[in-house]
Chain A
Amino acid sequence: GNSVTQMEGPVTLSEEAFLTINCTYTATGYPSLFWYVQYPGEGLQLLLKATKADDKGSNKGFEATYRKETTSFHLEKGSVQVSDSAVYFCALSEGDYKLSFGAGTTVTVRA
């Protein structure tokens, strides 16, 4: 079956630091890959996505590249801000609207 493994948190960073959250997946076919973000008190929001190998998703300064050879979709941001403090979820879908999620990584950015 499908599964997603992402690095455990919590992660604490200073403003302007570089952020990487690792995500690897197992899937039977060719999934679409997603990063969702949940800010305190809010629902999950789509941050970025990639639908095929070598695609790069980007949004709000975050990037992730769909690497089929390493079955990875690592999230990166070059310079984080306090407002990036949130829980980040890696997820995959194989087209039936069912999402398989990672455990989530809590990121705290300090001023």
Chain B
Amino acid sequence: GAVVSQHPSRVICKSGTSVKIECRSLDFQATTMFWYRQFPKKSLMLMATSNEGSKATYEQGVEKDKFLINHASLTLSTLTVTSAHPEDSSFYICSAPATGERGYTFGSGTRLTVV
């Protein structure tokens, strides 16, 4: 149980375009979703926390107008990278709090490449 499905797993886009990444909780309701970003050989960095029905909370230094987060339902949170540039190329991963010993459940991640 407590599975988060993340799509797409890989995406290549042109500079200036926007890319949407989806995370769906398949068998539970995720009132909160965490969005992380990982640069090569660097730590996963928390970008923002989305809460169903309210505005996302962004970590310091993360541009909220560039990384649009929507959490309109209890089973879907989306991250849209707007006007993407090559420096936005990274690995993005979502996570939701899960009940029980596991604590958190993670999506499988999205590798974004902006060319």
Residues of A within 8 A of B (CB): 3-4, 8, 34, 36, 38, 41-46, 49, 89, 93, 97-104
Contacts and interface: CB of A to CB of B under 8 A. Distances in A.
Contacts of B43: 3-4, 100-104
A100 to B, nearest CB: 7
B109 A97 contact: no
A40 to B, nearest CB: 10
Contacts, number: 56
Contacts of A41: 9, 108
B6 A43 contact: yes
A34 B4 CA distance: 19
Q: What DSSP secondary structure best describes chain B's contact surface?
A: strand
Interface in B43-100: 43-46, 49, 93, 95, 97
A48 B6 CA distance: 23
Given A100-B43, A102-B43, A43 B103 contact: no
B44 A101 contact: yes
B108 A46 contact: no
A43 B42 contact: no
Contacts of B101: 46, 49
A41 B110 CA distance: 10
Contacts of B9: 41
